Amino acid sequence: MEKNPQYLPQELIILILLRLPVMSLLRFKCVCKLLFSLISQTHFAISHFEITAAHNPRILFMSNPDLETRLIDFETSLSDYYTSTSLNLNFMRPRSDPRRRPLYCNFIETKCSCRGFIFLHHDSNIYLWNPSTRVHKQIPLSPNSSYLGVNYICYLYGFGYDPSTDDYLVVVVSCDTDFHNFSSQLEFFSLRDNRWKEIEGTPFPYMNTSDYSMVGSVFNGAIHWLAFRHDLSMKVIIAFDLIERKLFDMSLPDDMEHEPIYCDLWVFGEFLSVWTMDSDIVEIWVMKEYKVHSSWTKTLTFSIDDIPTRYFSPICCTKSGDIIGTDGTAGLVRYDENGQLLEYSSYCIEDCGSRVAVYTESLLSLPDDNDQD
């Protein structure tokens, strides 16, 4: 009688591992040398992300005062979250600080995320950080780092991935706001080349529409921002193609005649989208065919007078079409595809705020990554 094999084939082990959560895989690395070797391989991390990324997005938020992070599975419930340990962000403290003063979340901005990495901004410094693996990298200041001075909040930031070169790009649009001597420039930091570059054709006639720093939405291989075109005195959408490394602009919907109090971009399912808010009314427009101006369509209008803060900023949507957003302070809100309020959940007790980003856990590393907690 033939005996059953004592061990599973390595190919089957890999198939099983590829479908496990990141945190389980990190624990399994401590079990034996074989698992450590398999899980540590770069191609395993890439395959794992490609299999799980579309199925496991979460909302990550960082709350004061202890820098606690939580992950919310927004596909189920806004109250369905688990709390991880307090974040170890010691790498953000200056090494020259002898007192090791505490970090405070209200001085740390979570700009956005890409492939498991969080874009953090703290004290004029930029960091990329993978909360799962604790790998991090500080981005050096640009030679043209004047935008990181006292007025840095007026600029546009972006973070994206170029699959053609396996490179991550940190993008900054900065400008001199002197109305009579207006100029702006776009710089990007290539992690693979480990240096800042300025694209040809600068300066550009674009500037931020807000008094605060704004983060671009990644869609169709480009980072998109709402901007003011100085030479035409009008708002437009500008986009930076992550592969071609070129900047272009697109017009907003023609029927957006009035000037809403709030207006910004986001990705609504499979479409680039614009949302506006004015007098407790939110409107959502989608570009049904990318770069085709005539395809702009208003898909939803709903009231937010049932939200205590009278503010709603969409951040993502569920597979069923529900819209998830923040109330601007300490709450998450869910509306259905018809604009009916389904759920409101407060996720931060303190009044000092929090930082929110849509996040997917990953085992990925950055090019030439060797910085860890």
Q: How confident is the model at residue 84 (pLDDT cuts 50, 70, 90)?
A: low
User: 30-34, 54-58, 179-183, 283-287: lowest mean pLDDT where?
Assistant: 179-183
Query: Which has more pLDDT, 201 or 172?
Result: 172
pLDDT above 90 covers a percentage of the chain that reads: 52
Q: CA 175 to CA 189: how far, in whole Å?
A: 17
Q: Does a structural domain hold residue 238?
A: no
pTM of the full structure? 0.89
Q: Does a structural domain hold residue 11?
A: yes
Q: CA 61 to CA 72: how far, in whole Å?
A: 8
DSSP-derived secondary structure letter, 337: T
Segment 143-151 mean pLDDT: 57
User: 69-78, 176-185, 298-307: lowest mean pLDDT where?
Assistant: 176-185
Strand, coil or helix: what is 61?
strand
Q: CA 321 to CA 269: how far, in whole Å?
A: 8
The tens digit of pLDDT for each residue in 94-141 reads 555 545 555 555 567 888 999 999 998 877 788 999 988 988 899 998
The range of the structural domain enclosing residue 28 comes to 1-52
Q: Does a structural domain hold residue 322?
A: no
Is a pLDDT exceeding 80 seen at residue 307?
yes
Q: Does a structural domain hold residue 285?
A: no
Strand, coil or helix: what is 48?
helix
Q: Does a structural domain hold residue 3?
A: yes
Q: Does a structural domain hold residue 48?
A: yes
- The Cβ-side half-sphere exposure at 13, using a 13 Å CA radius, reads 12
Q: How confident is the model at residue 6 (pLDDT cuts 50, 70, 90)?
A: low
String of b and e for 293-325 (b: at least 16 CB within 10 Å)?
eeebeeebebebeebeeebbbbbbbbeeebbbb
The tens digit of pLDDT for each residue in 204-235 reads 888 888 888 899 999 999 999 999 998 888 99
Q: Tally the domains of the chain.
A: 1
Q: Does a structural domain hold residue 34?
A: yes
Locus of tokens 């986009």: 239
Contacts of 272 (CB under 8 A, 6+ apart): 217, 219, 220, 224, 237, 265, 286, 287, 290
Q: Does a structural domain hold residue 42?
A: yes
